[in-house]
Structure 1
Amino acid sequence: MSPQSSAYLHEMGIDHFQLRHPERLAGYTPSELILPESCQLLLVSDHLPVSQTATLFENILKAMNLTLAQAAHIYPHQLASLGQHQLNWLWFAGCEPLSSLENTHVLTSESLTLLDGDNQRKRALWQQIRQYQSS
């Protein structure tokens, strides 16, 4: 991005942006998605956790002995662009598991919105987590 474009975005209060459907751009070639080395859990979901769902996400991470700094979120269509990673956990929340990554524990659940306040769904997720942790 040019410095002038960056300055315009900064003036508008936009720190970063992400195209929802970059594949619709003519000539677009997806770049490889690189996660930080500290990332241990990747949440694949149609919705970015915000407000109440972000709090729920953070509480689930704490129960797994992980921090927000050790987790990341991507949209399902971005999974194909994932490059080298150090992930231990791949969590599909509210979407179909598209694939599994080598040497990762795959979790599936309802969306975070549906998990919030539903103890039965949270228990089912926790059972998956405990199953992997005990093996």
Structure 2
Amino acid sequence: MPQQALQFLNEMDISVWQVRQTSYFPALENTTLSLPETCQLLFVAPAIPTERDAFLFGKVLASMKLSPEQALFLSSESLEYIGEHHLDWCWFSGVSTTELEGVKILTSPLLSEMHSNTQSRRDLWRQICSYDN
């Protein structure tokens, strides 16, 4: 990425980003993603959560004693490009899971489907609690 673009992102206080159309930036293809050290949970889903979904997401984070600043969204296609990380959790919502060494894995339906499905919220809670034992 050109230095000017990096400087522009830095000025906007954006430290993590994803290029949606990598065909425009051939130099970025097949590069590794660096996650900030503060990232404890990686939320992997097909799309960025809506405002309504973000509220439920925040409630789940709070139950795990995590803040929104400690979580990042990543599309499932980008998961293979993760380099070194300090993750504790990886939550797969509506996508197939991938093993990450030393990371606690959570699975659930899409957040949008969990609003009206009490059982799916219970199942997620049980997964979270299973790691406390």
Q: Which TM-score band (shorter chain)?
A: 0.7 to 0.9
The answer to whether the 8 Å contact 1:90/1:100 transfers is no
Compare 27-36 and 74-83 and name the one that shifted more. Answer: 27-36
Structure 2: unaligned runs, 5 residues or longer: 9-13
Q: How many residues align?
A: 125
Partner SS for 2:90: strand
Q: One-letter code of the match for 1:20?
A: R
Q: Give me the identity figure in percent.
A: 33
- Counterparts of 1:78-93 in structure 2, within 5 Å, are 78-93=78-93
What is the Cα deviation at residue 26 of structure 1?
A: 8.2
**Residue 17 of structure 1, CA deviation:** 6.9
Residues 105, 2 of structure 1: alpha-carbon distance in 2 compared, 3 angstrom cutoff: closer
Name the counterpart of 2:20: 20
| TM-score, normalised with respect to structure 1 | 0.81
Partner of 1:63: 63
Distance 1:65 1:93 in 2: 19
| Contact kept in structure 2, 1:32 and 1:82, CA below 8 Å | yes
Q: 2:48 maps to what in 1?
A: 48
Alignment partners' CA distance in 1, 2:38 and 2:19? 25
| Alpha-carbon distance in 1 for matches of 2:99, 2:17 | 28
Superposed, 1:1-135 pairs within 5 Å as 1=2, 3=4, 18-22=18-22, 24=23, 27=26, 29-97=29-97, 99-134=98-133
Q: Which runs of 5+ in 1 are unaligned?
A: 8-14
Which residue in the other structure is 1:11 paired with? Answer: none
Q: CA RMSD in A?
A: 2.4
Cα shift readout 1:80-132 (whole Å, capped 9, x = no counterpart) = 100101111111100011x2111111111101111123211100111111011
1:6-33 Cα distance to aligned partner (Å, 9 max, x none): 88xxxxxxx89743342x5584522211
| Structure possessing the higher radius of gyration over alpha carbons | 1
DSSP-derived class of the 1:73 partner: strand
Q: Distance in 1 between matches of 2:39 and 2:118?
A: 27
Give the Cα separation in 2 of the matches to 1:109 and 1:115.
8
Opposite residue 124 of structure 2, the aligned amino acid is L
